[in-house]
Amino acid sequence: MGMSYGRQKGFTLWTWAVILALVAFFGLMAIRVFPMYLNQFKVKSHLRELAADPATSTMMKTDIVNALTKRFEVDNVDHVNPRKDVEVKIDKITKTKTISVSYEVRQRFLANIYIVGDFSDTQVEVRGN
């Protein structure tokens, strides 16, 4: 009487362990990265609001930085120092102001491993009178 052994189908304990480890890894990464992008969303939102305000076209650089500082404080924007990270360029011919915010975020991932976010593409233009 010969017994026929077929291949066992389904997940083994090792397969489940690998799947759970991958889910945990990417879950932890999402938990660490999401606040960085939420913060960037707040920065972009405040820049758009500032650009839409008609008073911005007559503001000086220090006034713009002060306005952004107040907005960031009220909305708990982290990792951005407006005095250091906000740049205002004024084109004297077209009277266009370009307001840009560039900053870097280092978020601890595991032990001494960090996730680094470089947010240097955030800018708006304000047309002058």
Q: What is the pLDDT of residues 40-73, one digit of tens each?
A: 999 999 999 999 999 998 999 999 999 999 999 9
Interval 89-129: pLDDT, tens: 988 898 899 999 999 999 999 899 999 999 997 899 988 76
Q: What is the pLDDT of residue 127?
A: 83
Cα torsion through 112, 44, 25, 113, rounded to 10: -10
pLDDT of residue 5: 63
CA 15 – CA 21 distance, rounded (Å): 10
pLDDT of residue 108: 92
Residue 33 β-bridge partners: none
pLDDT at residue 27 tops 70: yes
CB 120 within 8 A of CB 36: no
pLDDT for the residue 1: 54
Q: What integer pLDDT is reported at residue 20 of this predicted model?
A: 96
Query: What is d(CA 77, CA 96) in angstroms, rounded to the nearest whole number?
Result: 26
Whether the Cβ atoms of residue 125 and residue 94 lie closer than 8 Å to each other:
no
Domain limits, the chain: 13-127
How do residues 65-82 score in pLDDT, each as one tens digit? 999 999 999 999 999 999
- What's the pLDDT at 43? 96
- Let me know: does 56 contact 64? Beta carbons within 8 Å: yes
Cα of 103 vs its chain's centroid, Å: 9
For residues 111 and 38, what is the distance between their CA atoms, to the nearest angstrom?
23
Task: Look up the pTM and report it.
Answer: 0.80
Provide CB contacts within 8 A for 81, sequence distance 6+.
103
Higher-scoring residue by pLDDT: 10, 64 = 64
